[in-house]
A and B are shown apart, each in its own frame.
Chain A
């Protein structure tokens, strides 16, 4: 599909949008905490990918390449809006909770979402690529343009911070 898109086939590129939009939008939403910003960033990323598709090497990781484009745009957006840690929206609106969400409860979900929202951008972006997207540390490094070691470290710090906030206090070690 990528090769056909590289040859100018719009339907094939539309297929790539169908395949990757939800995941990219989800990640950008967690980074930007704003639906409209996430939509704009996702759209810009796809258009930029489209304009530069001839530079993409078929056979390499398209998702990582696309996410990297999106991350660069997010960084520019973030700097321009001069926001640091952003407050989460009061409600996670415009969605219907599915059976899984209903099972775990709104409060637990919101607590986790809130804690993730309070992570520094660097940690949050890396953690979500690892957990939500299932990327390896090497792929995360490619997206965020960091070393693999730094990617591992950022995921480590994100987990550490989440556990500090969300996990129950440790009990004495059992013998």
Chain B
């Protein structure tokens, strides 16, 4: 065994302080590796001795929990805003997510994002935004709140490029939200999320990207393609870790992201085509 091999095995081991027999044999014969090994073990030991600032938050949380007088546990949203109270004990404790409202808002948003520049040039009518606001549910939902903010920025965008960038931010927020749901959401919720991804990417992003001027494509579409590549990677990973019923919508999200990435790259390449 040579020194590089010994070091590789030590760094990949569960516990470098307990080397395998063949590595231990090498260490007995090689002073340099022995020194190196002692350094590695010392560093790992010292990691456990690094202190962190004291925190009072544990005591506060425990006090809050013990002071509680019953009622449902609240599931914090991705934005740290308490979500809707849950329903009764026998029903799922996961708060009701009005995703049908999200779909309605998304459909209007995609229509605005795509139809706005196909039919209305750069000036979406205020009426459209008003209709969407009226359809928003009375109780704030973090996903809808975020979508509403994105939608507002979309109506204020001055160019197709800005609108596409805003759709990219939609994707980011949706992705953060989906990440939070992977542990606890029902399959139906995840399927709804997959449908929202599909609309956002294929009907909103890709369709809009096709009308972008060729010279602008690389600058606008490359970051969007990168985002979608990350979505695909994460969704595949979540699918592997999920129960079978939940894995399927995760794979759908990955497939949407993969196709979207390919389509955006194809549009970028077209730019260079004479």
Chain A residues proximal to chain B, CB less than 8 Å? 10-11, 13-14, 17-18, 21-22, 25-26, 29-30, 35, 38-40, 42-44, 46-48, 50-55, 68-69, 72-73, 75-76, 79-80, 92-95, 97-98, 100-101, 104, 108-109, 112-113, 116, 127-128, 130-132, 136-137, 142, 145-146, 152-153, 155-156, 159-160, 162-163, 166-168, 170-174
Q: How close is A16's CB to chain B, nearest CB, in angstroms?
A: 10
Q: Is the CB of A101 within 8 A of B39?
A: no
Q: Is the CB of B74 within 8 A of A171?
A: no
B78 closest partner in A (C-beta): A76
Residues of chain A contacted by B36 (CB below 8 angstroms): 163, 167, 170
Q: How close is B47's CB to chain A, nearest CB, in angstroms?
A: 5
Q: How close is A58's CB to chain B, nearest CB, in angstroms?
A: 16
Q: Is the CB of B55 within 8 A of A25?
A: yes
How distant is the Cα of A11 from the Cα of B25 in the complex, in angstroms? 52
Q: Is the CB of B52 within 8 A of A52?
A: no
Some 6 contacts from A to B, beta carbons below 8 A apart, are: A43-B57, A72-B180, A73-B180, A156-B8, A159-B40, A167-B40
CB < 8 Å neighbour of A48 from B12, B62, B76: B76
Q: Is the CB of A13 within 8 A of B14?
A: no
A142 closest partner in B (C-beta): B241
Categorize the interface residue count of chain B: 35 or more
Chain B residues proximal to chain A, CB less than 8 Å? 3, 8, 11-12, 14, 16, 29-33, 35-36, 39-40, 43-44, 46-55, 57-58, 61-62, 65-66, 68, 72-76, 78, 80, 86, 93-94, 172, 176, 179-180, 182-184, 237-238, 240-241
Given A113-B50, A167-B36, residue A51 in contact with residue B73 (CB < 8 A): yes
A17-B65, A168-B35 given; name 4 further pairs at CB < 8 Å.
A48-B184, A109-B50, A127-B47, A167-B40
Given A14-B66, A76-B78, residue A43 in contact with residue B61 (CB < 8 A): yes
Residues of chain A contacted by B179 (CB below 8 angstroms): 72, 75-76
Q: Is the CB of A109 within 8 A of B46?
A: yes
CB < 8 Å neighbour of A104 from B29, B35, B40, B49: B49
CB < 8 Å neighbour of A35 from B14, B53, B241: B53
Residues of chain B contacted by A17 (CB below 8 angstroms): 58, 61-62, 65
Residues of chain B contacted by A92 (CB below 8 angstroms): 50-53
Q: How close is B5's CB to chain A, nearest CB, in angstroms?
A: 13
Q: Is the CB of B39 within 8 A of A167?
A: yes
How distant is the Cα of A75 from the Cα of B76 in the complex, in angstroms? 15
How distant is the Cα of A173 from the Cα of B43 in the complex, in angstroms? 22
Q: Is the CB of A69 within 8 A of B49?
A: no
Q: Is the CB of A100 within 8 A of B40?
A: no
A75 closest partner in B (C-beta): B179
Residues of chain A contacted by B49 (CB below 8 angstroms): 100-101, 104, 109
